[in-house]
Structure 1
Amino acid sequence: MNSLSLFAVAATLAGAAIATQSGLNSQLAVLLKNPLIATTIAFSFSALFTLTALLAFTKSYPQADDIKVIPTYLWFSGSFFSAFAVAMFFYLAPKMGIGSMMSYALSGQIVVAIISSHFGWFDLPLKPITALKLLGVAAMIGGILLINWQN
């Protein structure tokens, strides 16, 4: 199996983890009657798990000079979008169902990813939008409509 195949498997597992955590944490949100409390709990434990992994597996850390050059917005902007997305998942999953919610979420992710790659946003490698990619997006939207047809 080549490295691209391993990356594809890892990305698929990450996607499955997102759907699973959305389902579990939306249950927590329903039981707590507040998706923001559930989001806070989820991020608190995520920080604990991440800190544990960081301490266990990181061999070197950034130096002060490395940290000084990081633009201010990068310290909080990704976290803002992450908190927004996770809170919306916890709020929407019990209302829409995990399949419908994830299908719409995936479409948003793919559209933004294709546009971001086309323009090289976020220092991503440039990957132009092609007719084949547009056909793929159209097929995905068709698939999402089919998944949600009777909902």
Structure 2
Amino acid sequence: MNQSLLSIIAFIGGVCLAIQAGFNTQLGVLVKKPILASISTSISGVLFAFVFVMLFSKDIPNIQTAKQVPWYLWFTGGLFSIIGITLYYFTIPKLGISKMISMGLCGQLVFSVVAGHFGWLDLPLEPITLKKMIGVSAMILGIAFINSN
């Protein structure tokens, strides 16, 4: 796949996450428990993922392959997902969606640049360059503008 198409797909993924955050924030506010909205996201996510695997996956890993995966990799993504999503649903009604999403993206960007530089989480090494620093700085400046009155 070429870079342009991958970039468009990534952009659409971000739009989907913002839409999902908006809907589930409404749910969290109505039930007065953001964690219940996170549970709803997780359960419905499992159901939709299962359908997508059945429709689009050519082969499913066998038991032997699944056993080779360290146990914690089956759970830690879900833990951080629930924490992050619940924090989104908690803060969106207080900050607004544009402020919360901009701050969330800033956290993702800063962490990803540092994690890539050091190869944390077994990620490919991506050294911090002057271009990356300028880009991160521009994003932080943009976030400051978004969050200013």
TM class by shorter-chain length?
over 0.9
Q: TM-score, normalised by structure 2?
A: 0.95
Normalised by the size of structure 1, how large is the TM-score? 0.94
Report Cα offsets for 1:52-80 as digits up to 9, x if no partner. 11112222111222112211110111110
Moved more, 48-57 or 93-102: 48-57
1:86-105 equivalence runs, <5 A = 86-105=85-104
Name the aligned partner's letter for residue 38 of structure 1: A
CA positional deviation for 1:125:
2.0
Give RMSD over aligned pairs.
1.2
Cα distance in 2, alignment partners of residues 12 and 133 from structure 1: 19
CA distance in 2, matches of 1:55, 1:115: 36
- The aligned residue for residue 42 of structure 1 is 41
Structure 2 partner of 1:126: 125
| 1:140 to partner: Cα distance | 1.0
Deviations 1:64-100 (A, max 9, x none): 2211221111011111000111111111111100000
- The percent of aligned pairs where both chains have the same amino acid is 40
In the TM superposition, residue 146 of structure 1 has moved relative to its aligned partner by 0.6
Task: Show structure 1 runs of 4+ deviating over 4 A.
Answer: none
Structure 1 residue 121, shift from structure 2 partner: 2.2
CA distance, structure 1, for counterparts of residue 65 and residue 24 of structure 2 = 35
Bigger drift between 19-28 and 121-130 goes to 121-130
- Give the distance between the partners of 1:40 and 1:67, measured in 2 at CA: 25
Q: Using the alignment, how far apart are the partners of 1:91 and 1:71 within structure 2?
A: 32
- Match for residue 5 of structure 1? 4
